[in-house]
Chain A
Amino acid sequence: MMMMTAMLAEITALRDRVDTHEALAAAGEVASPAAVEAFELDAPRQAAREARRAAVLTRVFRPLLEELEVARLALSPQQLEQVLAEDQPA
């Protein structure tokens, strides 16, 4: 698991670097290493990167979140009876 989270840090850092490249390109600048290091991240772009990272975590850990969703939707015995009763012949 720790190897996975370390890998995710590398992947999301790479994605952030691509975002910087795209920002520089949009401004008509060349994405040299110096330009990337000098790039000033503003609050909206930082928030967008955070939202992207949250989405990555949701996608990567989908099996966990599925189990959580099933637990939260778990039918009570009464609800289960109700569902089964719907299939009974009238």
Chain B
Amino acid sequence: MFQTRHAVLPQTSHDEFAREEFTGSLRRFFTETLWPGTRDVYVATQRPAFERVHGRRPESVREVREAIEGSFFYRAASLLGRAAQEQLWDTVGETIERQLPALVEAARPKPDAVGTLTLNPTLAMPRYYDSVDIHVMPGNFHTELGADDVYAGALYDRGVFYFSYGGMGADNDKLGTTMTDYFEGAFPDIKPKRILDMGCGPGLSTLPWKTTYPDADVYGLDLAAPQLRYAHARAESFGKAVHFVQGDATAAPFPDGYFDVVSFCLLTHECPLPLVLEIMKEAHRLLAPGGIALADAGAPPADGVEDEFFTTWFNHNANEPFGQGLRKLDLQEGFVAAGFDPGDYFSSGSREAVYLTGMGADRAKQDGKGKFAGYVGAIRR
């Protein structure tokens, strides 16, 4: 599969492309073969060894880790996963560095733009956000390498395509399109006039809303200027009129009741739990009566200490420190605390962390569901 070209997608030489393709292969190898294999090796070897010594199974995540750390397979698999992560950003980043001036020029808003870009240079980056390179992405989403920078937007757009080794589809937007498909199916009579995608990044989850509801005013909100500049140029290239705004999802620069839909995709697992609750509260404020908040449900609570160990690899090894808080949150309680009525909460019935189970087309065959994530939300009355 080839990523659909647009005006600001980085170009690659023959060999740069080949090295990027390898990072996708390595990511698939880790996700589909190595990491699932650690459970089998643990069950066959390390857990029995622990039981022989202690007369019981491990009763904490620490004991599971102590049991498995002696395994060459586990240590090698974990290192390969980390290598895949670092190499992904390094390989993609190298291509962007050499063409960044051209990308910056290509991203400059044009006078005849159909959408808009509204930045706030005085917006302070929250401390939690500035303290970690999320998923080992150098500089996180927001670091600016120069004036009018788009490096981080380009890095994420191209990087996540290979992170998912094609699972995001050629347009790199499958998480967004499955979300809007779900929404359309769940609320077929709703024709929203104004939609907000919070934590929009380069707009991968934003443009599907405009495609699904072409008459709606669609907004994307993000803290990071390099993402928003890139998102604007990408949307213009695809002919989609979207308004990209720089702001904080806990204090968005819009009046009360401004939106009919407030959506957030892949946002909450990157935020400390108190901020997740603030974001839900802000969604309530921003919604008009009858408006709907929608979010990806994320990973379910772990089923015991062994499951917790095997489903928190990214949390401990790949700079995803906040997701563990989210998965322990009762999502209905979160929306109720935000001001929604318990009876107005809805759920697609599942919670799944797509980045753990893989997003390739094979996964639909594995579990027969053909879904990529679970969704939750609430209706504002």
Contacts and interface: CB of A to CB of B under 8 A. Distances in A.
A67 B45 CA distance: 10
Given A12-B18, A16-B21, A54-B28, 11 more contacts: A1-B80, A2-B79, A5-B87, A9-B22, A9-B23, A9-B91, A43-B2, A49-B21, A50-B25, A65-B33, A67-B41
Interface stretch (B69-77, B188-196, B212-220, B245-253): B69-77
Contacts of B1: 43, 46
Interface of A: 1-2, 4-6, 8-10, 12-13, 16-17, 20, 36-37, 39, 41, 43, 46, 49-50, 53-54, 57, 61, 64-65, 67-68, 70-72, 74
A35 to B, nearest CB: 10
B45 to A, nearest CB: 6
Q: Which 9 A-B pairs give the minimum distances between C-beta atoms?
A: A13-B18, A71-B44, A16-B18, A74-B44, A53-B25, A1-B79, A68-B37, A9-B22, A5-B83
Given A17-B18, A64-B76, A67-B72, A72 B25 contact: no
A64 B34 contact: yes
Interface string B27-42: 0110001100100110
B14 interface: yes
Contacts of B87: 2, 5-6, 9
Nearest to A50: B25
A2 B73 CA distance: 16
A53 B18 CA distance: 10
A25 to B, nearest CB: 16
Interface of B: 1-2, 13-15, 17-19, 21-26, 28-29, 33-34, 37, 40-41, 43-45, 72-73, 76-77, 79-80, 82-84, 86-87, 91
A70 B73 CA distance: 11
A57 B84 CA distance: 13
The residue in B1, B17, B83 that gathers the most chain A C-beta atoms within 10 A of its C-beta is B83
A4 B26 CA distance: 12
Contact of B14 (A8, A39, A54): A39
